[in-house]
Amino acid sequence: MDNKYIEKMLSKMDKDLSEHGMSRREAMKIAGISGAGLFMGGATSASAEEEKIVKSNAKGKIVIVGGGLAGMSTAARITLNIDNPDITVIEPQKLSVSYQPGQTLVGGGLWDEGDIAYERDNFVPDGVKVIKEKAILFNPQENKLTTDKGTVVSYDYLIVATGLQLDFERIKGLEEAGRAYSAGDNSKLLKALGDDGICSIYTAEGATKTWEQMQKYIAQAKSGKKTKFLFTHPNTPVKCGGAPKKIMYLTNARLKEEGARENAELVFYPNGGAMFGVPEYHDAILGQFKRENFKWHYRHNLIEIDKENKIAVFDAKWQEKGPWDPVMKDFEVIPKHEKVRVPYDFIHIVPPQLAPREIAESDLGSAKGWVPVNKETLQHIRYENVFSLGDVAQVPMGKTGGSVRKQYKVLVDNLVSLMNGKELTAKYAGYTVCPLITDIGTVMLAEFDWTVKPTPSFPFDPTVERWMWWLMKVYALKPMTIYGMLSGRA
């Protein structure tokens, strides 16, 4: 753990706490997490999770495609579990381990891009080789892959952790944006979005741009002009399902700070028919939306942006009762669609998201593109020496760093079992977490799993927004992720 970072983080946190008349220890006592080493300054990479690992002497060449949070944490974990492992990570992106959950805070003007940028080469575990190329062809029948520079890499075991792509080009009017990844050079995307109120926090550079645009339109509202802020959520799985709403809450907070809220209309256009997949959190968010005087329209999917006229076009869907089906002995349900044109001043776009083309079009991908794995063991359903985790894995509700934190340990346990010829017994239960920022200073900590019920780690009502979770989100989760997970321990 980087002690300088920790000292800086704790110093900022103490300042924040003292403004609330509270010491760090008192704050942690209230939160019931006084033992949390990271908060209390006792954090080391080892203290993030005390565990005794007996190293296996399993042999085999392990290749990890993708060196982001999922891939690099897995590499680190394997080094803790296997003696002298043969691991190669294939990752072309220099900033691959950047802290993506912080992009919301960058978009809200609380952090800057420098706070979330982390370089791959500083987090490569000892003994792990890195090929700084992009894997583009997969031949799982022969246990080989080829990179964009023609390097052929063979493996005994393959772990697919490529992440996902942001499919901006699917939105009419933004075709020239192409597809993007969260980190790296996204100048083409930014050029396509322009400087006239269109933004997205789903890339690091885009998050900075979001803050610029947000300030511009908050200033417009402050000047007395009625200003319309739109926020979208697409018809594909997305990484961090809470982010589309978090940036809306932060915009609201910044408008209130500036005394400009009364001139602003904030409207949410989700593709789905609910605010959240877990009913308890849906109800809580609905209450927050009403309290903050937000508007929303369910079942609206953004399909087009008319930049010149500043109009967003949505595919609006509803259902009507259809005719009686005498064979099924039931009424049919007829889906209906219509295009709805909505003027905007500022629009935050959450792009459709999909598996990278080279995965989707390979034998490793499913019909939908994602890597089809047993959702509990994370082993590929066709190739037993292939595993997948993170955004690219076809696992329900699994596209968050919180999910990866559970997945990578399960994956490594099962990989070691497979290498030793044993049964795969470790199981991922679908846990994920979304610290839903509801204001500057409050967070609702939505934890849940495949039971679609809240699974709180702390003895509090999980639907209540708390300042304590804000502290955790802003001060603790990043070091836990960057120094804990990327060392394979947290």
Partner 1 sequence: MQIELELVRYDDELDKFELDETIYQLDLSEDDEKTYHLLKDSDLHLYNWLKDSDFFTKYIKEEVYLESENKKIAISDINGISFRRFYFFKVTSGDSHYEYFKKLFNIHEESDWQDREDIGEEILQCLSTKRKELILELG
Name the catalytic one among 65, 240, 395, 468.
Answer: 240
Q: Cβ distance 183 to 98 under 8 Å? A: yes
Would you give the binding string for partner 1 spanning residues 270-299, x where CB under 8 A is met?
xxxxxxxx----------------------
Considering the complex, what minimum distance in angstroms separates the CB of residue 453 from partner 1? Answer: 14
Closest CB to partner 1 among 291 and 329? 329
Size of the site for partner 1 (CB under 8 A): 32
Helix or strand run (H / E) with residue 212: helix 204-222
Question: Has 199 been annotated as catalytic?
Answer: no
Of the residues 193, 434, 445, 485, only one is catalytic, namely: 434
Say whether 438 sits in a helix, a strand or coil: strand
Q: How many CA atoms lie within 13 A of 466 on its CB side?
A: 20
Asked if 234 touches partner 1 (CB under 8 A), the answer is yes
Q: Is 334 in the site for partner 1 (CB under 8 A)?
A: yes
Question: Binding to partner 1 by residue 455, rule CB under 8 A?
Answer: no
Name the burial class of residue 177, with classes exposed (0-12), middle (13-18) and buried (19+) by CB atoms within 10 angstroms of its CB: buried
d(CA 347, CA 305): 10
Please pick, from the candidates 5, 383, 450, 460, the single residue that binds partner 1 as defined by CB under 8 A.
450
Look up 434 and say whether it is catalytic: yes
Residues 6+ apart with CB under 8 A from 11: none
Question: Between 9 and 248, whose beta carbon lies closer to partner 1?
Answer: 248
Contact 206, 192 (CB under 8 A): no
Per CB under 8 A, the segment of 4-12, 56-64, 233-241, 457-465 that binds partner 1 is: 233-241
- Torsional sign, CA 396, 402, 406, 412: positive
Q: What one-letter code names the amino acid at 481?
A: T
Nearer to partner 1, 154 or 319 (CB): 319
**CB of 300 or CB of 409, closer to partner 1:** 300
Please check whether residue 132 is in contact with residue 125, taking contact to mean a CB–CB distance below 8 angstroms.
no
Q: How far is the CB of 192 from partner 1 (least distance, A)?
A: 24
Tell me how many helices (H) and strands (E) the chain has: 13, 20
CA atoms within 13 A on the CB side of 415: 33
Residue 114 CA to its chain's centroid (Å)? 19
Q: Identify which of residues 194 and 272 has a Cβ nearer to partner 1 in the complex.
A: 272
What mask of x and - would describe binding to partner 1 in positions 355 to 384, judged by CB under 8 A?
------------x-----------------
Residue 463 beta carbon to partner 1: minimum distance, rounded to whole angstroms:
16
Rule CB under 8 A: which residues touch partner 1? Answer: 233-238, 241, 270-277, 317, 319, 322, 325, 327-335, 367, 396-397, 450
Catalytic center residues: 240, 434
